[in-house]
């Protein structure tokens, strides 16, 4: 009994359709297959037109034509195979048996694979495959290999997802059951049932595909929109939102859109918070950076900012050829302000000094507090002479800037780039050296660097100068006590020191020697602190014994000066009561054996005593004082020193200090006992 239906011979196949293909069910299957082919072609054209920007028009046409030819070739091949098997099945003997056997095996294999494939489609919703087919490139048409791979992968995935027992039942039990049905019911009935069932499942699958086609389309569109929104968010556009159109029809999709929009709103809110925090942090950093470059007390720029700004200014000048001047200044006697009036008043002096800078300087000048009582100023595009004029105006503003409204002075130094120095370090050193030179020469003024007069003071010199300043402050405290002890109404020691420096300068000596003379005149009577206070303040005539005690004060003064580290002027202090004719004390030296410094101090002290009021007499006039000096020239005084002092008086460079002593205090009578 043959396995397949009766078919006409192969010679009649070319002229007419086989009789087994004329049945109603097969015609329905043929129309369904033709409809599917048309649908696939139309679907291919639609997907191709939607992605026309991916390939040229020629590639689209070639892709459609190639897909159509492959489908037609496959159909022709299947038709030819069916005709061949039908022809063999009509033969008697071995050929008929082979034809029926191969035909039946192919029918069973096709049905078995088709069943597994359809089962896979029901188990895994197939709508995603539509999008996969559409996304294939236009230059690579969908062909038989792709279809075979599709079916193979689905069947393999289905079998791989089943348990071992289920897999054995399907692969072994189904063929055995089919074989048993063939024996019991016959091939025609068995294959009719099998293909009828497959046809029903296939029709159900096609109906499900067409029915569910809108769902994947909506899902894919919405997912693509969500993907676009996510990409915008990833690129920093946190204002991107997904729309709710079509989302209400599908609850899960609406929830997904809501979650994405909620995530975007949270990210946007956090981004706004981060921006606000970053702005606050940036502002705090700017404030801290500004604070780190300013002195907290005076609000002027600090040393670090001064050096950085100076480096930038010097770089600018090196490119433009302009000059820049800097000034270094040190407040005079500032330690005494702190010691006498307290650190609170000292801070007030620093604040008033900073205010004087702000009030006087130009907007583009840069003042800075370099440390302690030291300040610096950068004068861009300014000559040293112009800078000195500005510094002098600052000194005038500080006329009431001292403690409790008193006068405050400073010692300033000026240096200019590139005139005086070609690098930053040297420029600062020269300005600093000029400031120290001003301090050594009477303070209260500003000195422009002059290489012929000012040497670059190294660190050791600065240390020595600072120590000397400290010693000088201590000495002023001591001599102030001496003047108060003697009952002198004026700053006698200060006057003698200043006048001694003027005489030395007028005699042609340099600033260093003049400064030494100032110290000698300031400290000449400091030894009186070692005498009996009652003896110093005695207004009546001294006895011989008392006068011998008084004559000890130059030795005591010299000892104090030596202990203070000023041994270079100790000899001048020791002999400041030696007379030119040898009648003085303590050693009775005469003429040139007496140190010049001692001779200068002797004349300066006598002039200040004569031109100042005392309790026992009024101050002498300038004419009487000069006549008294001239009468003592060659006897008590050095003639050269006297002539220099008289010339200073007559030229108006030296004026009497004036003042009077308190009543009842006669001062110290420098004469022998009767």
CB 549 within 8 A of CB 535: yes
CB 496 within 8 A of CB 601: yes
- The C-alpha atoms of residue 330 and residue 333 are separated, in whole angstroms, by 9
| Coil/strand/helix, residue 411 | strand
| DSSP per-residue string spanning 504-522 | HHHTT--HHHHHHHHHHHH
Looking at residue 274, its pLDDT comes to 84
- The C-alpha atoms of residue 200 and residue 219 are separated, in whole angstroms, by 28
Looking at residue 479, its pLDDT comes to 73
Looking at residue 58, its pLDDT comes to 61
| Coil/strand/helix, residue 327 | strand
Which DSSP letter does residue 623 get?
H
Tell me the pLDDT tens digit for each residue of 390-434. Answer: 999 999 999 999 888 888 999 999 999 999 999 999 999 999 989
- The C-alpha atoms of residue 16 and residue 12 are separated, in whole angstroms, by 6
Tell me the pLDDT tens digit for each residue of 92-130. Answer: 667 667 766 776 677 677 777 777 777 777 676 544 444
Element (H, E) at 330: strand 324-331
Looking at residue 348, its pLDDT comes to 93
Which residues of the chain fall short of a pLDDT of 50? Answer: 1-18, 20-22, 45, 48-55, 126-139, 659-674
Element (H, E) at 380: strand 374-380
What is the phi-psi region of residue 412: left when phi exceeds 0, alpha when psi lies from -120 to 50, beta otherwise? beta
CATH 1.10.3210.10 correct for 466-674: yes
Scored b (16 or more CB within 10 A) or e, 334-365 reads: beebbeebeeeebebbbebbbbbbeebbeeeb
Beta-carbon contacts of residue 357 (< 8 Å; ≥ 6 apart): 300, 367, 375, 377, 394
Kindly report the CATH class assigned to 297-457.
Answer: alpha beta
Whose structure tokens read 């192969």? 10
Q: Hey, where are the domains in the chain? A: 10-212, 222-288, 297-457, 466-674
Instruction: Tell me the pTM.
Output: 0.42
* Residue 638: exposure state from Cβ atoms within 10 A (0-12, 13-18, ≥19): buried
User: 370 φ, ψ to 5°?
Assistant: -85, -15
- The C-alpha atoms of residue 200 and residue 207 are separated, in whole angstroms, by 11
Q: What is the CA radius of gyration of the chain?
A: 59
Beta strands per DSSP E along 390-511: 410-417, 446-448
* Residue 607: exposure state from Cβ atoms within 10 A (0-12, 13-18, ≥19): buried
Distance of CA 510 to the CA centre of its chain: 51
| Number of H-type helices and E-type strands within the chain | 26, 5
Looking at residue 63, its pLDDT comes to 66
CB 342 within 8 A of CB 320: no
- The C-alpha atoms of residue 649 and residue 249 are separated, in whole angstroms, by 115
% helix / strand / coil in the chain, to the nearest 5? 65, 5, 30
- The C-alpha atoms of residue 210 and residue 126 are separated, in whole angstroms, by 11
Looking at residue 638, its pLDDT comes to 93
Half-sphere exposure of 67 (CA within 13 A, CB side): 26
Looking at residue 21, its pLDDT comes to 46
Cα 282–283–286 angle (5° rounding)? 85
């Amino acid at each position: 009994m043959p396995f397949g239906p009766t078919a006409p011979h192969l010679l009649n196949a070319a002229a007419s359709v086989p009789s087994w293909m004329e049945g109603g069910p097969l015609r329905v299957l043929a129309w369904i297959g033709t409809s599917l082919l048309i649908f696939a072609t139309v679907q291919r054209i639609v997907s191709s037109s939607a992605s026309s920007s991916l390939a040229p028009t020629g590639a689209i046409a070639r892709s459609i034509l190639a897909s159509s030819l492959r489908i037609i070739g496959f159909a022709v091949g299947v038709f030819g195979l069916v005709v061949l098997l039908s022809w063999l099945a009509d033969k008697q003997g071995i050929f008929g048996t082979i034809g029926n056997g191969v035909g039946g095996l192919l029918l069973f294999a096709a049905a078995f694979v088709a069943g597994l494939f359809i089962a896979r489609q029901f188990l895994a919703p197939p709508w995603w495959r539509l999008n996969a087919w559409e996304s294939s490139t236009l230059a690579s048409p969908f062909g038989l290999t792709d279809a075979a791979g599709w079916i193979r992968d689905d069947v393999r995935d289905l079998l791989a997802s089943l348990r071992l027992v289920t897999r054995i039942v399907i692969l072994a039990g189904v063929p055995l059951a089919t074989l048993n049905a063939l024996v019991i019911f016959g091939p025609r009935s068995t294959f009719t049932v099998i293909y009828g069932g497959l046809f029903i499942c296939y029709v159900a699958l096609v109906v499900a595909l067409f029915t569910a086609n809108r769902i994947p389309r909506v899902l894919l569109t919405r997912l693509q929109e969500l993907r676009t929104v996510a990409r915008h968010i990833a690129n920093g556009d946190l204002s991107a939102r997904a729309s709710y159109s079509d989302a209400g029809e599908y609850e899960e999709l609406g929830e997904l859109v809501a979650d994405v929009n909620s995530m975007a709103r949270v990210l946007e809110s956090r981004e706004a918070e981060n921006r606000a925090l970053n702005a606050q942090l940036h502002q705090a950093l700017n404030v801290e950076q500004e604070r780190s470059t300013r002195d907290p007390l005076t609000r002027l720029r600090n040393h670090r900012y001064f050096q950085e700004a100076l480096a930038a200014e010097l770089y600018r000048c090196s490119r433009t050829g302009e000059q820049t001047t800097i000034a270094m200044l040190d407040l005079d006697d500032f330690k005494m302000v702190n010691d006498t009036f307290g650190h609170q008043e000292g801070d007030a002096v620093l604040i008033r000094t900073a205010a004087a800078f702000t009030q006087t300087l130009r907007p583009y000048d840069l003042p800075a507090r370099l440390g302690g009582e030291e300040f610096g100023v950068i004068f861009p595009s300014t000559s040293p002479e112009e800078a000195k004029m500005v510094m002098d105006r600052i000194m005038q503003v500080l006329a009431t800037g001292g403690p409790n409204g008193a006068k405050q002075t400073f010692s300033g130094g000026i240096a200019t780039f590139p005139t005086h120095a070609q690098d930053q370090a040297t420029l600062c050193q020269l300005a600093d050296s000029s400031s120290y030179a001003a301090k050594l020469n009477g303070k209260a003024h500003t000195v422009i660097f002059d290489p012929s007069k000012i040497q670059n003071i190294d660190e050791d010199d600065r240390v020595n100068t600072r120590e000397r300043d400290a010693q000088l402050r201590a000495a002023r405290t001591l001599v102030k006590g001496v003047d108060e002890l003697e009952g002198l109404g004026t700053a006698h020691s200060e006057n003698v020191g200043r006048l001694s420096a003027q005489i030395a300068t007028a005699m042609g000596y340099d600033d260093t020697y003049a400064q030494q003379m100032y110290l000698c005149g300031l400290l000449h009577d400091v030894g009186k602190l070692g005498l009996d206070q009652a003896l110093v303040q005695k207004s009546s005539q001294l006895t011989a014994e008392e006068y011998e005690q008084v004559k000890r004060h130059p030795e005591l003064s010299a000892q104090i000066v030596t202990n203070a580290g000023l041994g270079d002027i100790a000899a001048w202090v020791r002999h400041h009561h030696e007379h030119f004719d040898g009648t003085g004390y303590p050693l009775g030296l005469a003429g040139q054996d007496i140190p010049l410094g001692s001779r200068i101090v002797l004349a300066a002290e006598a002039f200040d005593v004569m031109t100042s009021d005392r309790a026992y007499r009024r101050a002498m006039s300038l004419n009487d004082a000069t006549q008294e000096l001239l009468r003592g020239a060659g006897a008590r005084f050095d003639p050269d020193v006297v002539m220099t002092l008289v010339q200073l008086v007559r030229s108006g460079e030296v004026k009497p200090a004036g003042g009077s002593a308190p009543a009842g205090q006669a001062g110290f009578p420098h004469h022998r006992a009767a």
